[in-house]
Structure 1
Amino acid sequence: MSPPAPRPADRRITGLLLAGGQGSRMGGVDKGLVELAGRPMAAHVLERLAPQVDELIVNANRNLDAWRAFGHPVFSDDIGGFGGPLAGLHAALLHARHPLVATVPCDSPFLPADLVDRLAGALHSAGAQLAVARTFDRLQPVFCLCRRELAGPLADYLHGGGRGVARWHDTLDVVEVSFDDEAAAFRNINTPIELAEAGRSVSLDGTPAITGIQQRNPT
Structure 2
Amino acid sequence: MSLQINAVILAGGMARRMGGNDKGLVDLNGQPMIKHAIDRIKPQVKEILINANRNHSSYAEFGYPVVSDEDSGYLGPLAGMITAMAQTNADYLLVVPCDCPLLPTDLVSRMLSQLESHDADLAVASDGKREQPVVMLLKPSLRDSMKAFLDGGERKIDFWYAKHNCVVTDFSDQPNAFVNVNTPEQKQQLSEAIAK
TM-score range, shorter chain: over 0.9
Q: 1:76 aligns with which of 68, 72, 78?
A: 68
Quick check: which has more Rg, 1 or 2? 1
What aligned pairs does 1:1-219 form with structure 2 within 5 A after superposition?
8-9=1-2, 11-203=3-195
- Per-residue CA deviation, residues 48-71 of structure 1 (Å, 9 max, x unaligned), is 110011111110001111111110
Count of residues paired in the alignment: 196
After superposition, give the CA deviation of every residue in 1:59-115 in whole Å (9 maximum; x if it has no partner): 000111111111001111111211111111000100013121001100000111101
RMSD: 1.1
Unaligned residue ranges in structure 1 (runs of 5+) = 1-7, 204-208, 210-219
Report the Cα offset of residue 201 of structure 1. 2.1
What is the identity, as a one-letter code, of the residue corresponding to 1:125?
Answer: S
| Aligned counterparts of 1:197 and 1:137: Cα–Cα separation in 2 | 20
- Structure 1 residue runs of 4 or more that deviate by more than 6 Å after TM superposition: none
Q: Is the 8 A contact 2:127 2:177 kept in 1?
A: no
**How many percent identity over aligned positions?**
41
TM-score (norm 2): 0.97
CA shift, 1:136, in A, is 2.0
Deviation sequence 1:145-197 (CA, Å, 0-9, x none):
00010111111111111111011011111011111111111111111111111
SS across alignment from 1:167: helix
Distance 1:32 1:199 in 2: 15
